[in-house]
Amino acid sequence: MFIHECATRGIEPDRSSVLGLLGYPADTEPADGISDLVDRAFELFHRTAAPRGISTVISVDEFDTIWPGEGMNDPEAVLGPIYPLADRLALSAVTLGQEVSDTITRLFDENDFAFATIFDAVASGGADRLADVMMQAHLERFDPAGEDPPGIGSLLYSPGYCGWHVSGQRALFRRLQPGQIGIELLESCLMRPSKSVSGVIVTGPVEIHRFVPDFGYCANCATKSCRERIASLAV
Protein backbone atom coordinates (compact mmCIF):
# COMPACT_ATOMS: atom_id res chain seq x y z
CA MET A 1 0.00 0.00 0.00
CA PHE A 2 1.42 3.39 -1.00
CA ILE A 3 0.04 6.74 0.17
CA HIS A 4 1.15 9.87 -1.64
CA GLU A 5 0.71 13.59 -0.93
CA CYS A 6 1.79 16.43 -3.18
CA ALA A 7 1.71 20.22 -3.40
CA THR A 8 -1.13 21.84 -5.32
CA ARG A 9 1.42 23.49 -7.66
CA GLY A 10 2.23 20.02 -8.99
CA ILE A 11 -1.35 19.34 -10.04
CA GLU A 12 -2.43 22.73 -11.40
CA PRO A 13 -4.34 22.05 -14.64
CA ASP A 14 -3.40 23.84 -17.86
CA ARG A 15 -5.38 27.03 -18.29
CA SER A 16 -6.20 25.97 -21.85
CA SER A 17 -7.68 22.67 -20.65
CA VAL A 18 -9.84 24.51 -18.09
CA LEU A 19 -11.07 26.88 -20.81
CA GLY A 20 -11.77 23.81 -22.96
CA LEU A 21 -13.92 22.33 -20.17
CA LEU A 22 -15.80 25.64 -20.13
CA GLY A 23 -16.48 25.35 -23.85
CA TYR A 24 -13.89 27.79 -25.20
CA PRO A 25 -12.22 26.64 -28.45
CA ALA A 26 -8.43 26.19 -28.38
CA ASP A 27 -6.39 29.42 -28.48
CA THR A 28 -9.42 31.51 -27.46
CA GLU A 29 -9.13 33.87 -24.49
CA PRO A 30 -12.37 34.83 -22.77
CA ALA A 31 -13.39 38.44 -22.12
CA ASP A 32 -11.57 40.26 -19.30
CA GLY A 33 -14.31 39.69 -16.72
CA ILE A 34 -14.29 35.91 -17.25
CA SER A 35 -10.50 35.84 -17.44
CA ASP A 36 -10.34 37.49 -13.99
CA LEU A 37 -12.73 34.84 -12.62
CA VAL A 38 -10.46 32.11 -14.02
CA ASP A 39 -7.47 33.70 -12.25
CA ARG A 40 -9.44 33.84 -8.99
CA ALA A 41 -10.52 30.22 -9.40
CA PHE A 42 -6.90 29.11 -9.69
CA GLU A 43 -6.03 31.07 -6.52
CA LEU A 44 -8.94 29.44 -4.67
CA PHE A 45 -7.86 26.02 -5.93
CA HIS A 46 -4.45 26.44 -4.30
CA ARG A 47 -6.05 27.58 -1.01
CA THR A 48 -8.55 24.73 -0.74
CA ALA A 49 -7.09 21.60 -2.39
CA ALA A 50 -5.42 18.95 -0.22
CA PRO A 51 -4.27 16.38 -2.80
CA ARG A 52 -3.69 12.80 -1.69
CA GLY A 53 -3.53 9.43 -3.37
CA ILE A 54 -3.36 5.75 -2.51
CA SER A 55 -2.31 2.79 -4.66
CA THR A 56 -1.54 -0.88 -4.29
CA VAL A 57 -0.08 -3.38 -6.74
CA ILE A 58 -2.22 -6.46 -7.36
CA SER A 59 -1.83 -9.55 -9.53
CA VAL A 60 -3.88 -10.32 -12.62
CA ASP A 61 -5.32 -13.29 -10.74
CA GLU A 62 -6.53 -11.02 -7.96
CA PHE A 63 -7.97 -8.50 -10.40
CA ASP A 64 -9.87 -11.42 -11.95
CA THR A 65 -11.97 -11.36 -8.75
CA ILE A 66 -12.45 -7.55 -8.81
CA TRP A 67 -13.20 -7.00 -12.50
CA PRO A 68 -16.63 -8.73 -12.65
CA GLY A 69 -17.88 -6.38 -9.90
CA GLU A 70 -21.59 -6.99 -9.56
CA GLY A 71 -21.97 -8.62 -12.97
CA MET A 72 -23.05 -5.47 -14.81
CA ASN A 73 -20.05 -4.74 -17.03
CA ASP A 74 -20.77 -4.39 -20.75
CA PRO A 75 -19.72 -7.60 -22.57
CA GLU A 76 -17.55 -5.34 -24.78
CA ALA A 77 -16.01 -3.36 -21.92
CA VAL A 78 -12.63 -2.02 -23.04
CA LEU A 79 -10.64 -3.24 -20.06
CA GLY A 80 -11.83 -6.87 -20.22
CA PRO A 81 -9.37 -8.13 -22.87
CA ILE A 82 -6.62 -5.66 -21.84
CA TYR A 83 -5.87 -6.37 -18.19
CA PRO A 84 -5.05 -10.11 -18.58
CA LEU A 85 -2.20 -9.05 -20.93
CA ALA A 86 -0.72 -6.54 -18.45
CA ASP A 87 2.76 -6.79 -16.99
CA ARG A 88 1.60 -5.02 -13.83
CA LEU A 89 -1.67 -3.77 -12.30
CA ALA A 90 -2.21 -1.31 -9.45
CA LEU A 91 -5.46 -0.11 -7.90
CA SER A 92 -5.41 3.65 -7.37
CA ALA A 93 -7.56 6.43 -5.91
CA VAL A 94 -6.86 10.16 -5.56
CA THR A 95 -8.77 13.07 -4.09
CA LEU A 96 -8.54 16.85 -3.84
CA GLY A 97 -10.17 16.68 -0.40
CA GLN A 98 -13.51 17.74 0.99
CA GLU A 99 -12.87 21.50 1.17
CA VAL A 100 -12.84 21.79 -2.63
CA SER A 101 -16.21 20.03 -2.93
CA ASP A 102 -17.71 22.04 -0.06
CA THR A 103 -16.55 25.26 -1.71
CA ILE A 104 -18.18 24.32 -5.03
CA THR A 105 -21.45 23.54 -3.22
CA ARG A 106 -21.31 26.81 -1.28
CA LEU A 107 -20.68 28.90 -4.40
CA PHE A 108 -23.68 27.35 -6.17
CA ASP A 109 -25.82 27.76 -3.02
CA GLU A 110 -24.88 31.45 -3.03
CA ASN A 111 -26.03 31.70 -6.69
CA ASP A 112 -22.51 32.64 -7.76
CA PHE A 113 -23.03 30.49 -10.86
CA ALA A 114 -20.33 31.85 -13.13
CA PHE A 115 -17.55 31.59 -10.56
CA ALA A 116 -18.87 28.24 -9.25
CA THR A 117 -18.82 26.77 -12.77
CA ILE A 118 -15.30 28.04 -13.42
CA PHE A 119 -14.00 26.79 -10.07
CA ASP A 120 -15.66 23.41 -10.70
CA ALA A 121 -13.81 23.20 -14.04
CA VAL A 122 -10.46 24.08 -12.42
CA ALA A 123 -11.08 21.41 -9.76
CA SER A 124 -12.01 18.78 -12.36
CA GLY A 125 -8.84 19.55 -14.30
CA GLY A 126 -6.84 19.39 -11.06
CA ALA A 127 -8.30 15.99 -10.15
CA ASP A 128 -7.31 14.61 -13.55
CA ARG A 129 -3.79 16.05 -13.15
CA LEU A 130 -3.59 14.51 -9.68
CA ALA A 131 -4.46 11.09 -11.15
CA ASP A 132 -1.59 11.58 -13.63
CA VAL A 133 0.81 12.61 -10.84
CA MET A 134 -0.24 9.58 -8.78
CA MET A 135 0.46 7.30 -11.72
CA GLN A 136 3.87 8.96 -12.13
CA ALA A 137 4.64 8.39 -8.43
CA HIS A 138 3.56 4.77 -8.85
CA LEU A 139 5.91 4.34 -11.83
CA GLU A 140 8.80 5.91 -9.88
CA ARG A 141 8.61 2.99 -7.47
CA PHE A 142 9.79 0.77 -10.31
CA ASP A 143 11.98 3.21 -12.27
CA PRO A 144 13.55 6.33 -10.67
CA ALA A 145 12.83 8.27 -13.87
CA GLY A 146 9.13 7.42 -13.54
CA GLU A 147 9.03 6.26 -17.14
CA ASP A 148 7.94 3.05 -18.74
CA PRO A 149 10.59 1.27 -20.83
CA PRO A 150 10.34 1.65 -24.63
CA GLY A 151 7.30 -0.15 -25.99
CA ILE A 152 5.60 -0.25 -22.56
CA GLY A 153 2.76 2.08 -21.57
CA SER A 154 0.63 2.77 -18.49
CA LEU A 155 -2.96 4.02 -18.49
CA LEU A 156 -5.59 4.40 -15.77
CA TYR A 157 -8.98 2.74 -16.40
CA SER A 158 -11.89 3.75 -14.15
CA PRO A 159 -15.23 2.22 -13.14
CA GLY A 160 -18.07 4.07 -14.81
CA TYR A 161 -16.25 4.47 -18.12
CA CYS A 162 -15.91 2.48 -21.34
CA GLY A 163 -18.14 -0.42 -20.30
CA TRP A 164 -16.78 -0.94 -16.77
CA HIS A 165 -19.99 -0.53 -14.74
CA VAL A 166 -19.81 2.04 -11.95
CA SER A 167 -20.92 -0.64 -9.44
CA GLY A 168 -17.40 -2.05 -9.91
CA GLN A 169 -16.38 0.68 -7.46
CA ARG A 170 -17.55 -1.52 -4.57
CA ALA A 171 -15.10 -4.36 -5.26
CA LEU A 172 -12.33 -1.84 -5.94
CA PHE A 173 -12.99 -0.02 -2.66
CA ARG A 174 -13.15 -3.26 -0.65
CA ARG A 175 -9.62 -4.13 -1.80
CA LEU A 176 -7.99 -0.66 -1.89
CA GLN A 177 -9.66 0.90 1.18
CA PRO A 178 -9.47 4.57 0.00
CA GLY A 179 -11.09 5.58 3.29
CA GLN A 180 -7.50 5.79 4.50
CA ILE A 181 -7.15 9.05 2.54
CA GLY A 182 -10.68 10.26 3.24
CA ILE A 183 -12.59 8.95 0.20
CA GLU A 184 -16.00 7.46 0.97
CA LEU A 185 -18.09 5.41 -1.46
CA LEU A 186 -21.74 6.46 -1.47
CA GLU A 187 -24.70 4.14 -2.04
CA SER A 188 -24.87 5.48 -5.62
CA CYS A 189 -21.24 4.36 -6.15
CA LEU A 190 -20.22 8.01 -6.54
CA MET A 191 -17.32 9.13 -4.37
CA ARG A 192 -17.22 11.74 -1.64
CA PRO A 193 -15.29 14.06 -1.95
CA SER A 194 -16.66 14.46 -5.45
CA LYS A 195 -13.36 15.55 -6.96
CA SER A 196 -11.84 12.08 -6.63
CA VAL A 197 -10.66 9.62 -9.28
CA SER A 198 -10.32 5.84 -8.88
CA GLY A 199 -9.32 2.98 -11.14
CA VAL A 200 -6.66 0.49 -12.07
CA ILE A 201 -3.30 1.49 -13.55
CA VAL A 202 -2.52 -1.00 -16.31
CA THR A 203 1.13 -1.28 -17.37
CA GLY A 204 2.04 -3.41 -20.35
CA PRO A 205 3.00 -3.43 -24.03
CA VAL A 206 1.63 -0.32 -25.74
CA GLU A 207 -0.29 -2.51 -28.19
CA ILE A 208 -2.62 -3.89 -25.50
CA HIS A 209 -4.03 -0.36 -24.96
CA ARG A 210 -4.91 0.14 -28.60
CA PHE A 211 -8.48 -0.48 -29.81
CA VAL A 212 -11.04 0.98 -32.19
CA PRO A 213 -13.71 2.84 -30.16
CA ASP A 214 -16.77 1.60 -32.01
CA PHE A 215 -18.54 -0.26 -29.20
CA GLY A 216 -22.28 0.19 -28.68
CA TYR A 217 -21.79 2.38 -25.59
CA CYS A 218 -19.44 4.73 -27.49
CA ALA A 219 -22.47 6.28 -29.23
CA ASN A 220 -23.31 8.09 -25.98
CA CYS A 221 -19.72 9.21 -25.25
CA ALA A 222 -19.28 12.97 -25.52
CA THR A 223 -15.53 13.13 -24.92
CA LYS A 224 -14.05 10.28 -27.00
CA SER A 225 -11.14 10.74 -24.56
CA CYS A 226 -9.71 7.29 -25.37
CA ARG A 227 -8.25 8.70 -28.59
CA GLU A 228 -6.11 11.23 -26.73
CA ARG A 229 -5.15 8.68 -24.08
CA ILE A 230 -4.02 6.11 -26.64
CA ALA A 231 -2.18 8.80 -28.63
CA SER A 232 -0.31 9.86 -25.46
CA LEU A 233 1.49 6.52 -25.30
CA ALA A 234 4.99 6.55 -26.75
CA VAL A 235 5.44 4.03 -29.55
> Which residues lie near ligand SF4 (CB under 6 A)?
78, 161-162, 213, 215, 217-218, 221, 224-226
Closer residue to ligand SF4, CB minimum distance, 9 or 224:
224
Closer residue to ligand SF4, CB minimum distance, 78 or 208:
78
Min dist. Cβ of residue 155 to ligand SF4 (A):
11
Closer residue to ligand SF4, CB minimum distance, 117 or 167:
167
Closer residue to ligand SF4, CB minimum distance, 2 or 215:
215
Min dist. Cβ of residue 167 to ligand SF4 (A):
17
Min dist. Cβ of residue 103 to ligand SF4 (A):
29
Closer residue to ligand SF4, CB minimum distance, 1 or 221:
221
Min dist. Cβ of residue 220 to ligand SF4 (A):
8
Min dist. Cβ of residue 189 to ligand SF4 (A):
18
Min dist. Cβ of residue 179 to ligand SF4 (A):
28
Residues 198 and 159 sit within 8 Å (Cβ to Cβ): yes
Cis peptide before 68 (omega within 30 of 0): no
Give the integer Cα–Cα distance in Å for 161 and 38: 29
Closer residue to ligand SF4, CB minimum distance, 106 or 210:
210
Please give the single-letter amino acid code of residue 17: S
- How far apart, in Å, are the Cα atoms of 126 and each of 133, 156, 200? 10, 16, 19
